Amino acid sequence: MSDTATLKIGNDTYTLPTIVGTEGERAIDVKPLRRESGHITLDPGFLNTGSCRSEITFIDGERGVLRYRGYPIEQLAEQSSFLEVAYLLTQGALPSPSALTEWEQRITRHTLVHEDMKRMYEAFPPNAHPMAILSAAVSALSTFYQDEVDPLDPDQVQINTIRLLAKVPTIAAFSLKRSQGHRYTYPDNGLSYAGRLLKMMFGYGTEPYELDEDQESALDKLLILHADHEQNCSTTTVRIVGSSKANLYASISSGISALWGPLHGGANQAVIEMLETIQNDSDGIDKYVRLARDKSSGFRLMGFGHRVYKSYDPRAKILKGAADKILAGLGQKDPLLDVARRLEEVALEDSYFREKNLYPNVDFYSGIIYRAMGIPVNMFTVMFALGRLPGWIAHWREGNEQGLPIGRPRQIYTGSGERPYVPVGQREE
Ligand code: SDX
């Protein structure tokens, strides 16, 4: 196939280079377009626009394929650990046994936050949404290291990578404790990453904490499944903020805010709220599938549909398969899981969902598992952020290593033409 694209505008013809990715994805390089033709491309929401070349994650939305640095998500979820996946994403390869041990030890020794950070929590109302606290706290974290946040200094980038991976779980768990009016549980460095997080969230200083291994392994799997997803909304946000050479903490803080939206990472909280509404409505599931088909209703099936996956989200498939086992292991039965399965069945038989290729996404089942662990609903998106952290860091590092220019899209202006200013005394009411 030709390695150029020909564009005909009026009587003029332009030739543009094309690019082919590792898995055969194809792109037209429009860098010369405006200079040569006076035209820009217009693609709100970037449905057809690539922002960069990347070596981190590959998704095939038609075939439901997801790989981190070439490794299939199914194998990583089954055989790897979250900290190993964080190394793979941020360092670019699977670690040797000694590198993994050193990586785990380095992260474990940075789990404490400065005691002054605790005062920040007192500034929030007790019912503050933990995503607001997380975004503010991660940005505030930079002030404790503000003399060593140079995005172009590899040693500073590495130590801040370690600090964020180590401290963000502590910050998240402290915000949960604060919302409950409980004393903070400090990190226990004798535990695994997931085990430490569970103990900080559910441990009390008044008694020993019995770590449930099923919970620990389920949480580690959930973190792996959320670790990266190429150029999604929050990762694109992290990249574009990083492109201004903003420090890593500021860039991650912006990604947290983008993830909070109900169309993105906030969907896992919205899914549970939707399932509870359906469960409590005697009209049942068919009513909500009908509402979702009806644009004027403004209702969407949360946890369904995806910009890239036009087939079953492989993460949802893994979580759906694991949900029964995890809930059984946790000694939990959740009627919402039955509602979710039934809703999926009805929706996938419905022509509207089939024609639009709307399948369950990662958020559809994750909330049921978080719920079974006793994690409050308003912490679900925080759990998503904890998983996505290494992916955000990896993309921020890649953007800086690639020396990409500052992100600054063009636009097509459709406002008023030039007109003279009218002093307020001469304007009509
Ligand atoms: C995540 O990008 C990523 O990789 C994200 C993510 C990650 O790991 O980072 O995978 C995580 O954010 C998963 C998505 C979580 N969000 C939800 O579950 C919210 C519900 N889903 C949607 O709102 C929607 O599907 C999106 C936002 C996820 C995708 O939106 P798109 O690609 O912009 O698609 P669209 O909104 O244009 O929908 C296409 C059509 C529309 O109908 P038409 O205009 O063609 O007639 O499908 C309809 C939509 O109305 N549609 C839905 C629907 N999702 C899309 N109709 C009913 N229920 C839904 N859930």
pLDDT value at residue 339:
92
pLDDT tens digits, 415-425: 999 999 999 99
Taking the C-alpha atoms of residue 378 and residue 70, their distance in angstroms, rounded to an integer, is 33
pLDDT value at residue 326:
84
pLDDT tops 60 at residue 45: yes
Say if CB 103 and CB 83 are below 8 A apart: yes
Taking the C-alpha atoms of residue 148 and residue 159, their distance in angstroms, rounded to an integer, is 9
Taking the C-alpha atoms of residue 327 and residue 335, their distance in angstroms, rounded to an integer, is 11
When the pLDDT of each residue in the chain is averaged and rounded to a whole number, the result is 95
pLDDT tops 80 at residue 1: no
Q: DSSP class of residue 425?
A: G
Closest listed residue to residue 172, CA positions, set 138, 148, 206: 138
pLDDT tens digits, 345-395: 998 899 999 999 999 999 999 999 999 999 999 999 999 999 999 999 999
Residue 330 pLDDT grade (very low, low, confident, very high; cuts 50, 70, 90): confident
Closest listed residue to residue 50, CA positions, set 31, 70, 72: 31
What's the average model confidence in pLDDT over 329-349? 89
Residue whose CB lies within 8 A of the most ligand 1 atoms, among 239, 288, 304, 388, for a mutation test: 304
What's the gap in Å between 290 CA and the centre of ligand 1?
17
Residue whose CB lies within 8 A of the most ligand 1 atoms, among 60, 358, 383, 392, for a mutation test: 358
Q: How many Cβ atoms from other residues are within 10 Å of residue 288's Cβ?
A: 22
Is the Cα torsion angle 136, 137, 142, 144 positive or negative in sign?
positive
Residue 329 pLDDT grade (very low, low, confident, very high; cuts 50, 70, 90): confident
pLDDT value at residue 46:
96
pLDDT value at residue 274:
95
pLDDT value at residue 327:
85
SS3 letters across 258-317 = HHCCCCCCCHHHHHHHHHHHHHCCCCHHHHHHHHHHCHHHCCCCCCECCCCCCCCCHHHH
What's the gap in Å between 82 CA and the centre of ligand 1?
27
What's the gap in Å between 222 CA and the centre of ligand 1?
21
The owner of tokens 């953007």 is 399
Say if CB 87 and CB 111 are below 8 A apart: no
Q: DSSP class of residue 182?
A: P
How many percent of the chain have pLDDT more than 70? 100
Residue 306 annotated as catalytic: yes
pTM over 0.85: yes
Q: How many Cβ atoms from other residues are within 10 Å of residue 61's Cβ?
A: 15
What's the gap in Å between 61 CA and the centre of ligand 1?
13
The owner of tokens 């409590």 is 280
What's the gap in Å between 358 CA and the centre of ligand 1?
8
Closest atom of ligand 1 relative to the 300 alpha carbon? 58
Taking the C-alpha atoms of residue 55 and residue 235, their distance in angstroms, rounded to an integer, is 14
pLDDT value at residue 2:
62
pLDDT value at residue 138:
98
Q: Which residues line ligand 1 (CB under 6 A)?
A: 229, 232-233, 263-265, 267, 292, 300-308, 356, 358, 361-363
Residue 215 pLDDT grade (very low, low, confident, very high; cuts 50, 70, 90): very high
Closest atom of ligand 1 relative to the 259 alpha carbon? 12
Residue 175 pLDDT grade (very low, low, confident, very high; cuts 50, 70, 90): very high
The catalytically annotated residue of 220, 228, 313, 363 is: 363
What's the average model confidence in pLDDT over 63-73? 97
Residue nearest to atom 8 of ligand 1 (CA): 229
pLDDT tops 90 at residue 252: yes
Which of the given ranges, 247-256, 266-275, 302-311, has the highest pLDDT on average?
247-256
Taking the C-alpha atoms of residue 203 and residue 207, their distance in angstroms, rounded to an integer, is 8
Residue nearest to atom 58 of ligand 1 (CA): 300
Residue nearest to atom 35 of ligand 1 (CA): 307
Taking the C-alpha atoms of residue 15 and residue 35, their distance in angstroms, rounded to an integer, is 13
What's the gap in Å between 381 CA and the centre of ligand 1?
17
Residue whose CB lies within 8 A of the most ligand 1 atoms, among 275, 300, 302, for a mutation test: 300
What's the average model confidence in pLDDT over 200-218? 93
Taking the C-alpha atoms of residue 318 and residue 106, their distance in angstroms, rounded to an integer, is 30
Which of the given ranges, 132-141, 302-311, 326-335, has the highest pLDDT on average?
132-141
DSSP helix/strand/coil, 327: helix
Our measurement of the distance from residue 146's CA atom to the centroid of its chain's CA atoms, rounded to an integer in Å, reads 26
| Packing angle, helices 267-279 and 380-401, rounded to 10 | 150
The catalytically annotated residue of 226, 229, 264, 306 is: 306
Residue 114 annotated as catalytic: no
